[in-house]
Copies of this chain bind each other. A is one copy, B any other.
């Protein structure tokens, strides 16, 4: 066990999972993750590039992936927005990119789960609530990416990046992944069997090309299989729960804590914590809402996951938003709402049918 901040633990976990390439560009709170990769990858026989911009970072990772290497990139808010074109097309190129979205709050749920880029693509989104889970998810991410040949995004935040915990990064054993016979090494150049890694759906001349239409349909069909097989969710105290709270990531850990405390006080409240944001645990939410009187959604943003919750509940119970925008003065997404007290107050108000207390205001700039 070593005291590590989340950024370091994630970098260590990535390396333990065989990640050998990383490229990034500084932006708070992503910067430290990049720094840890920069320090540790060369020591582990890998490469970390201080890319000159986010666009270049994602391009470099694309290239590394095309050789079959496990590779990752990441950023924050603005930087990830710049990478959206590439994310969309990397999905079409079926490359197993791992993306660290060290977000400022939870305002990037739509971008992460609906694809901020063009097209019908989706990426698997894992939302760890704390460092322990981040260590697990990071390794899982590389496994899922290779299994499905599709990008996997880890949704982190300022807390996950900077909180320090005593952790052990133990490599996780996963079932084998499909062989990467598509990976390029130049060896088939000139043999008539050369390969192409492309988002366009065309193979080399002489081999049957699916063409764009079939390619897009095949990607969507794969996404439907992922939807069926890869949903992950944690629930608690749902039996007889009158009020169900849905929350994810570190705020989900706060909610879990509060709900446990309220249960101890005898309040019939339960929670659903989506672990994969895409595919979203619609069934779990539906089941949880079945006997409930109300569903509350807590997000540190204006309310985005609530769409998915509503799609899961589908009218079975009223769905209310109990989160809100809350941030420090720098916009890093660590505001006064992210605290046990106000969360408790909002959950209780919902539970008792009282009006929600007003959102607390950030008073300090840090």
Q: Is A116 an interface residue (CB 8 A)?
A: yes
- A220 (CB) vs chain B CBs: closest residue: B302
- A86 (CB) vs chain B CBs: closest residue: B81
Complex contact B311–A307 (CB within 8 A): yes
A114 cross-chain contacts in B, Cβ below 8 A: 110-111, 114, 304
Complex contact A85–B81 (CB within 8 A): yes
Q: Which of the residues B85, B325, B335 comes within 8 Å of A82, measured between beta carbons?
A: B85
Interface flags for A93-112 (1: CB within 8 Å of B; 0: not) read 00000000001100110110
Complex contact A213–B310 (CB within 8 A): no
CA distance A212 to B335 in the complex (A): 11
A212 cross-chain contacts in B, Cβ below 8 A: 327, 329-331
CA distance A107 to B122 in the complex (A): 12
A79 cross-chain contacts in B, Cβ below 8 A: 85
Complex contact B81–A211 (CB within 8 A): no
Complex contact B314–A81 (CB within 8 A): no
CA distance A178 to B362 in the complex (A): 31
On chain A, the number of residues with a Cβ less than 8 Å from chain B's Cβ atoms is 53
Q: Is A242 an interface residue (CB 8 A)?
A: no
A213 cross-chain contacts in B, Cβ below 8 A: 325-327, 329, 335, 361-362
> Which residues from chain A sit less than 8 Å from chain B, CB to CB?
77-82, 84-85, 88-89, 103-104, 107-108, 110-111, 114-120, 200, 211-214, 216-217, 220, 223, 301-302, 304, 307, 310-311, 314-316, 324-327, 329-331, 335, 359, 361-362, 365
A-B contact pairs, 29 of them (CB 8 A): A77-B118, A79-B85, A81-B118, A82-B84, A82-B85, A84-B111, A84-B117, A103-B118, A110-B110, A110-B114, A114-B114, A120-B302, A120-B325, A200-B331, A211-B329, A211-B365, A212-B329, A213-B327, A213-B329, A213-B361, A214-B361, A216-B327, A217-B325, A217-B359, A223-B302, A307-B307, A307-B311, A310-B311, A315-B316
Taking A81-B116, A103-B118, A310-B311 as known contacts, 10 extra A-B pairs with beta carbons closer than 8 A to each other, sorted by chain A number, are: A81-B85, A81-B88, A108-B119, A110-B114, A111-B114, A116-B118, A120-B304, A212-B330, A216-B325, A314-B314
**Which 10 pairs between the two chains have the least Cβ-Cβ distance?**
A315-B315, A116-B116, A81-B85, A77-B118, A120-B302, A110-B114, A81-B117, A212-B331, A220-B302, A314-B315
